[in-house]
Structure 1
């Protein structure tokens, strides 16, 4: 499914939804205070969708008008969802208390930063999470459109691929850096948690090329150094790709298949310096305070989710292993630099 809001002019809301079924005519539902009050089908065809191979007829553009929702222009709060998937397409809110910025929260952690997303959600008209799974064409449209002026987008994306769009649209970019060994431990435990999915022939497609990597982790003891050494010697290539300097890869490449070179570390440092708000997980409060300041938000600072003792113990074992240190040598430079900068400025 692909979608985008085109405009909200008060008495008419325009947008488009391309359904997963290329033969289907897209439909959206309008909800007010949690109740569905109207269902609107697409009425306009766009041949570009046909050319892209997204849809058979291109009939994907919808218009919500006063005839569909009486008094539409005067309704301050409403939501528009795709009927088939129940995905939020648009949310109208009063401007009071909302930021007018477009903000990009880059998720460098294997797990979404749900605490940050939850803290920011009430202050944006639109919020899109998990944008790393969105098609490239949709991401570029979302980053460029002027209608998303109070919009939070969060997820794991390769930053240089879209940096020009952020600059052009004046988006506020934000990144929280994690300790590289805690991140590596988190990625290993994340893989192990999905081993049961990898073993299920009806579900393993959800893991893409990480099926073998997830299943592989079950053969090793994360509390034993010798077992971990064997893991690093025998790991399949997708697991290696997931663990090898992931932050540097996110900040210095343009496509997931790009190889990291010695110069990638320099590129990553330069790109990092251009991100508006950069923080370190060890100084979570400082990151949240800086982010709230840039967005004009006045609210209590949330506490981070605790990292499990199992993950922290694994991180300490990895920190003492040469194989592991070699795999995050670039990310260690980035993490240490950010931690030192934040520590100096926050405690001054």
Structure 2
């Protein structure tokens, strides 16, 4: 899906939506004030969309005015969603409630810190979680939307694919890193949960790109070191590729490219260009710097949440040579990053934060 909100002039909101099938007429769900949500099929023909080959007929535009939503100009709360995907394509900015910034938080955990996420999203009019699960065209539409004055995106899409859009649109970029053994342990445990829960959809949203590991996980005995060693030695090439160095691949590799040692330096270089980088072990420092750099108390008293089964499995995985080899580049990346973050935390103060933009990374 592609979309664009061309303008919100108060009395008129106009834009367009193109679905995966370019001949289909899109429908949006309009949530306006306290009124019940209602469906609005495309009501404006856009020959420009047909001319550039985006839509077969051009019937993909919409216009919302007082005839469709009474007193539209005075409503502070208006949200538009595409009907099939339920993806939000616009939410009106409220200067009294929302922070007027574009923010991207790279989190590599399969299960992001829920309190932190809730704390951050309450400050923005639009928020997109686990954004990597959306198609390429939809992510591009979100990042490049000209009318998004207050938006936060959280997830782990390919940095190489979207770095240009993030820079061009002035996003505040941050990353929160975690010990690679803990990342892998949490992912395996969540995959097991997805297999056993009655409603796996929510878990599956957190595991985009990893669901092919479910058959492997279903056979694992997490409490047996011997079983874990045997299982990891028996991985298929496809499963190895799925597990191998996910953070390095996200930060430094093209789509489909496998991580090599040279990519560690490239990933560090990309991290150094972000406004803020932190680690879970220094979460309080990350929270303090994040709030300071954005000028508001955005992340409140959220804390890093340790889960005992995750830490126990991570310890077991760290003793398996096959696992170490699979994530060796992520381990190297995290080691360098953690050292830089600790150095940044030790020297952080208001004057330094104002002078260098607050990055925990020195220039590479």
Fold agreement, TM-score > 0.5: yes
- Higher mean Cα deviation, 334-343 or 158-167? 334-343
Q: Per-residue CA shift, 1:235-259, capped at 9, x if unaligned?
A: 123332232111111111121x112
SS in 2 for 1:266: helix
Q: Provide the C-alpha distance between the structure 2 equivalents of 1:150 and 1:293, rounded to a whole number of angstroms.
A: 18
What is the deviation of 1:274?
0.9
Call closer, same or farther: CA 1:18–1:112 in 2, change over 3 Å: farther
C-alpha displacement of 1:339: 2.4
The yes-or-no answer on 1:269 pairing with 2:268 is: yes
1:35-81 deviations in Å (ceiling 9; x for gaps):
32654331234467668987543421111112212222222222223
What is the SS of the residue equivalent to 2:13?
strand
Give yes or no for contact 2:2–2:141 (8 Å, CA) kept in 1. no
- Please give the residue correspondences for 1:151-170 in structure 2 after superposition, counting only pairs within 5 Å: 151-170=151-170
Alignment map for 1:51-66 (pairs within 5 Å): 56-66=56-66
Contact 2:260 2:329 survives alignment (8 Å): no
The residue that corresponds to 1:328 in the other structure is 327
After superposition, the C-alpha distances for 1:144-202 in whole angstroms (9 at most, x for unaligned) are: 333212111122201122112211221111110010110111122233233459xx9xx
Give the aligned partner of residue 354 of structure 2.
Answer: none
Q: For the structure 1 residues 296 and 218, does the alpha-carbon distance in structure 2 shift closer, same or farther, using more than 3 Å as the test?
A: same
1:1-348 superposed matches below 5 A: 1-19=1-19, 24-36=24-36, 39-46=39-46, 56-195=56-195, 213-255=213-255, 257-299=256-298, 301-304=300-303, 306-347=305-346
By how many angstroms is 1:141 displaced?
A: 3.1
**Cα distance per residue 1:302-336 (max 9 Å; x no partner):** 32363321111110111122222222222122222
Q: Report how far residue 137 of structure 1 moved.
A: 2.4
Distance 1:114 1:46, change over 3 A: farther
Aligned CA RMSD, in angstroms, stands at 2.9
Answer yes or no: is the 8 Å Cα contact 1:105–1:173 preserved in 2. yes
The farther-off stretch of 35-44 and 56-65 is 35-44
Aligned to 2:355: none
- Residues 314 and 14 of structure 1, relative CA distance in 2, 3 Å threshold: same
Q: Which moved more, 1:169-178 or 1:125-134?
A: 125-134
Q: Secondary structure at the match of 1:7?
A: strand
For 2:252 and 2:10, the matched residues in 1 are separated by: 42
Question: What whole-Å deviation, never above 9, does each CA across 1:85-128 have from its counterpart, x for those lacking one?
Answer: 54332211421242221111122122244333211112112212
5+ long unaligned stretches in structure 1: none
Secondary structure at the aligned position of 1:194 is classed as: helix
* Contact 2:28 2:81 survives alignment (8 Å): yes
Q: 1:20 to 1:13 in 2, by over 3 A?
A: same
CA shift at 1:264, angstroms? 1.0
Q: Is the 8 A contact 1:105 1:154 kept in 2?
A: yes
Evaluate the alpha carbon distance shift between residue 51 and residue 305 of structure 1 in structure 2; reply closer, same or farther with a 3 A threshold.
farther
CA distance in 1, matches of 2:171, 2:152: 10
Tell me, in whole angstroms, the C-alpha distance in 2 between the residues paired with 1:184 and 1:101.
33
The worse-fitting range, judged by mean Cα deviation, of 52-61 and 222-231 is 52-61
Q: Which moved more, 1:264-273 or 1:115-124?
A: 115-124
- Which deviates more from structure 2 when the two are superposed, residues 147-156 or residues 188-197? 188-197
TM-score (norm 2): 0.83
Distance 1:169-1:188 versus aligned 2 partners, 3 A rule:
same
Number of residue equivalences: 341
Contact kept? 2:119, 2:299, Cα under 8 Å: no
CA distance in structure 1 between the partners assigned to 2:139 and 2:87 by the alignment: 16
Measured in 2, the distance between the counterparts of 1:147 and 1:269 equals 32
Structure 1 residues 175 and 209: CA distance shift in structure 2, 3 A: closer
2 CA distance for matches of 1:236 and 1:191?
Answer: 17
Q: Secondary structure at the match of 1:28?
A: strand
